[in-house]
Each structure stands twice: as structure tokens, then as C-alpha cells.
Amino acid sequence: MRPGTLPHVLEALDEAAVGRWSSAVVDTLTQARGRLDELNVFPVPDGDTGTNLLMTAQAAHAALTSADGTESAWDVLARGAVLGARGNSGAILAQLLRGLADGLADVEHVHGPVLADALASAAGTAYAAVADPEEGTFLTVARAGADAATTAVAAGQAGLADVVRAAAEGALTALRATTGQLAALRDAGVVDAGGAGWCLVLDALVGTVTGTTPARAPLDGRPARPRRSPWPVPAAPAPGPGSEVQFLLADSDEAAVSRLQARLAELGDCLVVVGVDTPGGREWNVHVHVSDVGAAVEAGIEAGRPHRISVTPLAPVRAPAAAAGLRAVLALACSAGLAELFGAEGVTVLTAPVDAVDEDAVLQAVLDTGAEQVVVLPNHWEVTAVTARAADRAREQGRDVVVVPTRSAVQGLAALAVADPARRFGDDVIAMAEAAAATRWAEVTVAEQEALTSAGRCAPGDVLGSAEGDVVVIGADQVAVARDLLDRLLSAGGEMATVVVGEESALGDAVCAHLSAVHPTVEVVRYAGGAGAVPLLIGVE
């Protein structure tokens, strides 16, 4: 702009303006990241709000810059934010952007009144996305900005510049009041970090619309601390969830997500679930703070296909547990053959029939490892709850225990294949959980009684082929059922098949021969399950 000229003020937001705003948000949050991290004392003082907001904004902007122009910029921005959201604050920012997209994606030129309505709707959907919203937080600031925008329109100040200035001023006023609304903020003498970030996002919008970013700093007037020196936390961790779990959920629906939200609300807090449409179908970004990481991941598996799973400790991180005695893996096995198989992997094994797994025995096995950090592999869907309860009791005794929800022994083997004790504990848990979740499992069993299954009615002695716990094949011959089951599993693709054969080695021979003849590109790994194991376990990766 030449000296003496006035900035051009936009009367409406178009696609190009959305792009400029997105770029300005990234620039603004880049400069403010350190200060926002230092302000972060709520919901947990983990010093990452600025980082999470920035990474979410960067993901949104990256999606926008790589778009082909066939979709609304608002939709692309929102999808990028939801799929790339990090942390509690990032998930809320993504929900706000998605809420704006819901109201603005079909509007070619966004004028003041339309934007005010969209801001109000976005704030409302953000509140709805958070399981237990509290006042004095990011949500409060977003709602106050939206209320100020709608009030300006009602008062006749409906120009786009008037609306965005009112939103920014209203949010800033609410931000300054957050210090007195939450005890954690009051004790630290700071404003809410997420709300401060949203004020910066709105200031960037003011700059995009008016050509001049407000000459103020929402973070001024608060005690400053050096970068990477967050506000003090108690010497002993406060009671409550110990890890932040976040993942994307695909192949699900609204009913399953609703059940997932209810389950995660029972397991922990700071729950935020944000959905967005993608070219491959609807996906959800799920964020929660929990003590039982495995139970949270298990809930995600039951609801759909969790991926990009991340687990971040909320308590101070210990040094990497590469030294002997700091970390152990406990695997449950229902037969001597499986026990020998897991024992050969160098892990502690608890052997018991599925219906005889005892909570006290699991607890004692965890404690007997002598390790500070323990991963538990239940290896059967019926004992996951028992191992979770034992893990809760072990944590009460000072052990850091995570149950990776392996629903079959083949998932347990897949988890062990990627385990690395030299990694940070949380990273190792993530790798093991992802490997288990990526392994489709099936089994061949023999019916003990008459029952109605998803494949029809079965009688005692019938051979059952089950995939992921559901009966899909009923027959009279184990080999025929196994072949049918394998073909169904591999119809969805797969590079490696793991087969664990029970007492009938002939069944294993027939299965391997079938794989070689019909699926020659699939790598096959065969193990002996031995007495007590089901006739055949199958894992496909």
C-alpha cells in the first residue's frame, strides 16, 4: 500500500479472501505459539495449546493450498482442520471452522449478517461437540464473539467490517474475564490459552477484511515466563486421566459415534468429537483424556476404523524406558501352545482358559513383572474387560499400565512384532495398538450347542467360521469352512496371513495349500496353537 492511501475494505468475503485469512491465521499463530503454550494451564497444564492450534491451522491451510478449486474454500478449510486437528484446543478450532463452513460453503459472497449468523451457529456446534463444556474457556470466548457480531447486526452495524470488528472486540472482552471464571486460571493469573488463540484468529479476520490488523495483543498484561517453562504443576500428579488419546475414525456412522461418545465419557474427560465429510466418506476426529488408553482405543475399534492414533502422557514424561526392569509386556494365552508362542517373543505370559481368566491373577502377573511400565495384551475379546479392571488396580499401586485391546492372539502377535522398548512408552503403545487394529482376525470353531447366529441357526457339532467375532460361515467340514473364511477375508485385500493351528495339523496343511494355490501373492506365517487352542486362528494384514 502506497504512503497516504487508505486500505481497501472488503464488503464481502469471497474464496480468495478465505485463502488470505487462512494464511494470516498461520502467520499469527506461528508468532504467538510460545506465549500461548505458556498460558496453557487448563484443562491440563501441558503447555501445548499454541502448538496444537498452529498445527491445526497449518493442516487447514495446507488442504486449501492443495485444493483443485472444485469445492468451496470453506469446506476444504474445515476438512483440513478436522483431519489435522491436534489436542483439545485444535479439535475445538476445527469444530468452529466446520461450523462456519456449514453456514457459508454455499454462499458466494459472505456479507456481514450472514457471517454473524455463521459465527453464532459455529459457536453452538462447538459447545455441542464438547462432552462437558465449562465457562471461562475457549468456548466462552467463541460464543461471546458471535454474540457481539449478532448484536452489531441488530443495532444496524451490518457491514462486514463492522461485524468482524465487533466479533473480535466481544471475544477479547470475554477473554479478559476468563481469569476470574476458572480457578486454574485465577491461581496462575492468566487468561484461557485457547480463547486467546481464537482472539488472534478473529484479529487475523479483521486484518483480512479491513487491511489493518488491530494494534493490540490479547496476551499483554499477563505474567511472562520463558519458553518451554510452563506454569508449575503439583509435585504429585492430581487425580484423573493420565493420557491424551486422539484418533481419526472412519467406516462408522452417527449411531456408532454416539455410542462411542457415551463410552468415552465414562472412561475420561475433555471429550471432543468432530465429524466432517471427506471424498472417502464421513470421518470423525476423536479427542479424550483417559487413564485406560487401551479401553479408549477398543471403543474406537468397536465404533469403526480408528487410524492415526496418538497417545500423549498428561503427567510429566519419564525418561525412555530402555533400561532393564522399567518396561514389560504381559500376554494372556488360552493354551500351552500359545503360551509357548508368546513366551518365545520374550514377554511374560499368563496361561488360562478364556472362561477362567481371573482379575486378581492378572493384577498379580502385572505386579510380578517388577516393571514400572507394563503393556497388557488380552488376546481375546471376552477378557478385555477383566484385564482393564486389573490394570486400573495396578495403576492405583503406582504402575503405568496400558491395555492394548487385542481381540485375538493373532492381533497380539502383530502388536509384538512392532514393539520396541527403546521407544518412548506412549509411542510404543501407539505402534502396538495400530498394528493390532490393522490386523483383521477370524477363527474356525465347533459349536457346542444350538444357537442363532448372524449366518443362521447352528447345531452342536457344526463348524463355525467367524470374522471379527461374527459368525459368517456354517458348515460340516473344517477345511471347507476355513477355505471359505480365508477367501472372504482376503477379498478385501491383504499382504500377509498368519495362521495358528490347533491340534489338527492336517487342517493347517490344507489351509496353507489353499493359500498357496488361490492366493499366491499372500505371505503365509504358520504357528502351532497346540492343545486348548481353537482349531484355527487367522490374521490378515
pLDDT, tens only, 171-210? 999 998 888 888 878 777 888 888 889 999 999 999 999 9
Same domain, 99 and 206: yes
Same domain, 407 and 491: no
On whether residue 224 sits in a domain, the answer given is: no
Q: How many domains does the chain have?
A: 4
From CA 257, how far away is CA 284, in angstroms rounded? 8
- For the chain, give me the number of helices (H) and strands (E)? 18, 16
pLDDT digits (tens, 9 = 90+) for 23-50: 999 999 988 888 888 887 766 665 678 8
Residues 28 and 130 in one domain: yes
In a domain, 177, yes or no: yes
Name which of 202-206, 216-220, 284-288 the model is least confident about: 216-220
Tell whether 55 and 154 lie within a shared domain.
yes
Asked whether residue 419 is assigned to any structural domain, the reply reads yes
The pLDDT, as a whole number, for residue 325 is 53
Same domain, residue pair 383 and 444: no
Q: Which of 287, 313, 339 is the last residue of a domain?
A: 313
Boundary of a domain, candidates 389, 416, 437: 437
Tell me what pLDDT residue 317 has: 39
What's the CATH code of the domain at 429?
3.40.50.10440
pLDDT at 472 (0 to 100): 93
- Report if residue 138 sits inside a domain: yes
Is position 180 within any domain? Answer: yes
Q: Are residues 33 and 162 in the same domain?
A: yes
Q: To the nearest whole percent, how much of the chain has pLDDT over 70?
A: 90
pLDDT at 31: 86
For residues 36 and 31, what is the distance between their CA atoms, to the nearest angstrom?
A: 10
The answer on 151 and 127 residing in a single domain is: yes
Q: Are residues 412 and 273 in the same domain?
A: no
The reply to whether 430 and 447 lie within a common domain is no
486 and 343 in a single domain? The answer is no
Q: Is 367 helix (H, G, I), strand (E, B) or coil?
A: helix
What span, in angstroms and rounded, lies between the C-alpha atoms of 73 and 67? Answer: 8
Domain that holds residue 411: 327-437
The last residue of one of the domains, among 382, 406, 437, is 437
Look at 107 and 184; give whichever has higher pLDDT.
107
Burial class of residue 52 (count of CB atoms within 10 Å of its CB; 0-12, 13-18, 19+): buried
Q: Which residues of 9-27 are buried (b: 16+ CB within 10 A; e: fewer)?
A: ebebbeeebbbbbbbbbbe
User: What's the confidence (pLDDT) of residue 216?
Assistant: 64
With contact defined as beta carbons under 8 Å apart, do 100 and 202 qualify?
A: no
pLDDT digits (tens, 9 = 90+) for 424-469: 888 889 889 998 998 999 999 999 999 998 889 999 999 999 998 8
Question: What CATH code is carried by the domain that includes residue 148?
Answer: 1.25.40.340
Average pLDDT, the chain: 85
User: What pLDDT sits at residue 484?
Assistant: 94
**pLDDT at residue 416 is higher than 50:** yes
Residue 222 lies in a domain: no
Q: Are residues 41 and 184 in the same domain?
A: yes
pLDDT value at 242 more than 90? no
Tens digits of per-residue pLDDT, 334-379?
Answer: 887 888 888 888 889 998 888 888 898 899 999 988 888 999 999 9
How far from the centroid of its chain's Cα atoms is residue 121's Cα?
A: 25
Distances (CA, A) of 245 to 288, 308, 309: 5, 11, 7
Q: Are residues 341 and 303 in the same domain?
A: no
